[in-house]
A = this chain, B = another copy of it.
């Protein structure tokens, strides 16, 4: 349901942006696996706000407190409960917004659904919720690593600046070298400039994150309703501000001919593989042993640093002053969230796949 993600490896998350804490429970974690807690903490830190001039000035240390499920650094097979305290809440910032509906935010829809909402900082609709995903994803990544699988995401578009080079010709180890998390330094600096320009105008920018998993063997995924890319689509589209998802050749399949985009099978060192990888590593909903890659598009965040016209609960016209602390472009901070979601989906499917045979 709403606040649980996954079938076997499952994250159940909770928390409002400005409540005492956010957190979650990670269930279905295989037992007996050593976890590098410091590395996990560092992964989570990649998502946290206040990292650079292009991100929100909200200051959260995002220290994760683990409450169960790990004993002497080893997973017990029992659920891992964790909390992250909300320190820098500044609720006063948001008081005016309690009775108004910010455009393209979830204020109105929460009121429509629940009849009320926590108006402080977006409440449950805040992207702060994704911190819990990053915790679970960081754990999943450590487990996947032991299976030989690695997951890497990076910023591939910010506004009109687009990285045209495919992932296989990029140095993916350089992603965190710049604030926008783009593995091409030149494109990265243009992206950064684009963001600065938007910020100066009080505006925001959309963009795209690309993600690739290597080392996934053939056979993961559920072939009908749970096709691997359908699960990935749901996972990625559930991230705040995500609006489009494409696997492999994606949107460009629409104008393609079958003869152009067919992935011919070949033997690669005795292993069956494909010559090209238009399919993005998934055929019939099941991994085929090639890299799995996709793009996810994020809309520009709707909080501008300009006065904004809107209406209140009673339908009266209101002008909201420029306010709040928000990233002019959320895409760079979305990078670890994208990795986290992909890692959770892959690990879950690995575990499910174990049940396909007696």
Contact = CB atoms under 8 A, between A and B. Distances in A.
A12 B27 contact: yes
Interface in A1-57: 1-5, 7-8, 10, 12-16, 19-25, 27-28, 30-33
Contacts of A308: 262
A278 B302 CA distance: 12
A343 interface: no
Contact of A355 (B8, B22, B69, B81): B8
A61 interface: no
A1 B65 contact: no
Interface in A305-324: 306, 308-311, 315
A215 interface: no
Contacts of A284: 105-106, 109-110, 125, 240
7 contacts: A1-B28, A15-B68, A21-B67, A76-B116, A78-B124, A105-B284, A254-B297
What size tier do the contact residues of chain A reach?
Answer: 35 or more
Interface stretch (A166-174, A177-185, A241-249, A332-340): A241-249
A92 interface: no
A207 B254 contact: yes
Given A15-B68, A355-B355, A74 B116 contact: yes
B203 A259 contact: yes
A304 interface: yes
B250 A103 contact: no
Which of A68, A217, A249, A356 is packed against the most chain B CB atoms within 10 Å? A68
Contact of A159 (B13, B30, B257): B257
Given A83-B83, A104-B278, A8 B1 contact: yes
Nearest to A2: B222
